[in-house]
Structure 1
Amino acid sequence: MPRTVRRITVGTVMLGTIAAGTLPATAVQAMPTTPATDREITFTVDGTTTYGTLHIPAHRRGQKMPAVLLLPGSGPTDRNGDQPPALTPHTLAKLAGALAHDGVVSLRFDKYGTGRTGLGAYAGRPETLDHPAFVRQAATAYRLLAGQPEVNRRAVRLIGHSEGALTALRVAVAAEPRTAGVGLLQPLAKRFLDVLAQQLHDQLAAAVAAGQMSRQEQLTLGRAVDRAVADFRAHRPPDTSAMPPALADLFRALDGPSRRYVETIDAIDPVAVAYQLPRRTPVLLTCGTIDPQVPCHMTTPLAVALERAHTRGPGRIVLSGVAHGLTDPANPDVLAPATLDALGRFMRYGAR
């Protein structure tokens, strides 16, 4: 989501002769025999090698486990959900850890422009990188995950955070094998530039409420924002003449090498994509009550579309006291309990 302002580690279970002898035979058989591990994986799509981490929880030898492909938010967000060095919330790494605790395999990867993957084949022509390229990258990762020997290919799900939720939706429409569920965590719930404009309008309103600008200034800047969005959609350079420097710089940056990406992602309405999901697909949609980037009211049209598309639960879950990064600001180092509860409900729903 555009920002307008700036393992469990499971050791090998050691069963000595005394310990094993004190347990029923069925309990010994249920003990994990293969320790948890992180496996570095690579795959190639559109001439670029993508690098990722496959986390395998502790499990019985030969066991087939459910799995999740984790997709990050906007900007240069890497496989862990970070934009180093400044922003390191570890959002996807935390999700992978929570899933592993429940015996779920996960795959997360460095998308284009991040981590070891970098721009790859697009390095000399970043202006040609578009949103469909990210969808192809994610779809390839999904098929790779489904083919892992430890994975139950009938129980592979997609979970996307923020902008990654739109990518998850698009992959799920034609996923092979069919996805066992789609998790949309604090998702891009409207067209990209509509979300950006709403965030800017909300910030202007907050500035007026705080006495930092006049109502007339708010109206003037609000019209300038709407005009810049209209320019983008008409394939014109955005008019930034009536904007203060920081706001003008934002729109000029969108008009730079990433313009094709912005135009192609803005052309997608998440609500329209939701109607294309296979019937009875289990879906989780979350919103946080203290998330200014994706306030809950912004997700309502998407939630309605998912219901009308005859998807299954758990549906939309409102996370009380949870911010955009899926945490409670009072304890930002861990996922909020409400987030973990919603994640658990989603993974249990329709489990096969």
Structure 2
Amino acid sequence: MIGRRLLLAGAAMLAATETRAQYFPRGIKEHELHFAGSGGVALAGTLVLPAISEIERVPGVVLVAGSGPTDRDGNNPLIPVRVDLLKEIARSLGRAGIATLRYDKRGIGGSAIHQRDAADRQESYFTWDQFVSDVQAAHAELVRHDEIKSYATALLGHSEGGLLAIAATAAMGKKRPYALVLASTPGRPLGQIVREQIARSMPSLGPTAERIMAAIRDSGQVPRDVPSAFRAVFPAYAGAFLKAAFAFDPAATLARTDIPCLLLQGDADIQVVPPRDVQPLLDTLARRNAPGEALIAPMVSHNLKLVTGPDDPGFAGPIAPAIEIKLVGWLRHLLAAPSAL
């Protein structure tokens, strides 16, 4: 009799587990979508929803890619390997019960400008204000979906994407997200960062870079005689964007925001070099009257991957465990994500 009761109890527990699995679906679902950015420009993106969103609304995060032709997944054709940083972040957060929307910035990937319009639209198409407004449009698209808790959202920007996220947050007023995550984001104006990057990597071309940057600051246009070594840094069409980006002060702008902020940084980052390039943001977090945390993880690259030594750029591989644990834990607690199953 006792044995039969144990068998019945075991069967009941199994049935309960199966029933729970039906009501609390696991995994993630990915949806390709398009939405209107600034000026009605069609932007392509990927919405990742935790499967539990079928029965319960979930928090959501907009992921903003870094500089140049970096796509929604965090890959750049100038880098010879797949980085997949933003794709990995999206899937990690999805498994933790947090939705994400990541998108190709205007002119990139699925959001590329039509070739026949490129010649006469490029300069007006790529302005700082339009990129900032696109971040706001992405957030509006995220909260438009019924699965998302509109009051439990965040922006996460990587590198230059962090600058855009700061600017968008400051501009959004009451429609701002609840939280902000800055990953490998400089705390000094981008013009200073670029100048020092060139001084480290191509010191003989420093005076040429100074001349180009001065022309951009004065006219908002990129000179026609940019050397081939600099064409990826100073694209011909990006003068208006670069003029504003070089002048943007991320720390001063962050100081005008009042939402929780998490700063994630690797101490092996050779593009945004800690502590010098990051310290203004750390100082601002300490002064603001809002929650703020920071993690500078050892042996972690600009792309938040573990490095094996000084010659490893840290492009490939999974997100560094310390970064992933901090990011997921911080957002899950702050945005009250559904319990992991």
Distance in 2 (alpha carbons) for counterparts of 1:294 and 1:185: 10
Q: 1:230 matched to which residue of 2?
A: 214
Q: 2:167 matched to which residue of 1?
A: 170
CA shift for structure 1 position 74:
0.4
2:332 matches 1:336: no
2:250 matches 1:270: yes
Specify the SS of the correspondent of 1:234.
helix
Distance in 2 (alpha carbons) for counterparts of 1:107 and 1:251: 30
Q: 1:187 matched to which residue of 2?
A: 185
Specify the SS of the correspondent of 1:298.
coil
Give the TM-score normalised by structure 1: 0.79
Q: 1:9 matched to which residue of 2?
A: none
CA shift for structure 1 position 60:
5.9
Task: For 2:297, give the aligned amino acid.
Answer: L
Contact 1:42 1:49 in 2 (8 A): yes
Distance in 2 (alpha carbons) for counterparts of 1:138 and 1:167: 7
2:122 matches 1:126: yes
User: Compared with structure 1, are the counterparts of its residues 152 and 224 closer, same or farther at alpha carbon in structure 2 (3 Å cutoff)?
Assistant: same
2:75 matches 1:91: no
Q: For residues 253-295 of structure 1, what are the alpha-carbon distances to aligned partners after superposition, in whole Å with 9 as ceiling and x for unaligned?
A: 6262111111122221111211221x2x111112211111001
Q: For residues 310-350 of structure 1, what are the alpha-carbon distances to aligned partners after superposition, in whole Å with 9 as ceiling and x for unaligned?
A: 23122x21011000111013483211112112212421443
> Relative contact order: is structure 1 or structure 2 higher (C-alpha 8 Å, sep ≥ 6)?
2
Q: For residues 80-124 of structure 1, what are the alpha-carbon distances to aligned partners after superposition, in whole Å with 9 as ceiling and x for unaligned?
A: 111248452111101101111211101011111111110259634
Contact 2:220 2:243 in 1 (8 A): no
Distance in 2 (alpha carbons) for counterparts of 1:104 and 1:117: 25
The match for 1:105 among 99, 105, 121 is 99
Q: 1:22 matched to which residue of 2?
A: 13
Give 5+ residue unaligned stretches, structure 1: 1-17, 205-217
Specify the SS of the correspondent of 1:260.
helix
Contact 2:47 2:100 in 1 (8 A): yes
Aligned residues: 315
User: Compared with structure 1, are the counterparts of its residues 298 and 252 closer, same or farther at alpha carbon in structure 2 (3 Å cutoff)?
Assistant: closer
The match for 2:111 among 117, 124, 145 is 117
**Aligned-residue CA RMSD (Å):** 3.1
Contact 2:222 2:234 in 1 (8 A): no
CA shift for structure 1 position 201:
2.1
2:66 matches 1:73: yes
Task: For 1:318, give the aligned amino acid.
Answer: I
Between 91-100 and 80-89, the greater mean CA deviation after superposition: 80-89
Distance in 2 (alpha carbons) for counterparts of 1:177 and 1:289: 34
Counting only pairs closer than 5 Å after superposition, residues 26-37 of structure 1 correspond to structure 2 as: 28-29=19-20, 32-33=24-25, 36-37=28-29
Give 5+ residue unaligned stretches, structure 2: 1-8, 309-313, 337-341
Contact 2:260 2:290 in 1 (8 A): yes
CA shift for structure 1 position 221:
5.0
Distance in 1 (alpha carbons) for counterparts of 2:220 and 2:129: 22
User: Compared with structure 1, are the counterparts of its residues 29 and 178 closer, same or farther at alpha carbon in structure 2 (3 Å cutoff)?
Assistant: farther
**Larger relative helix fraction:** 2
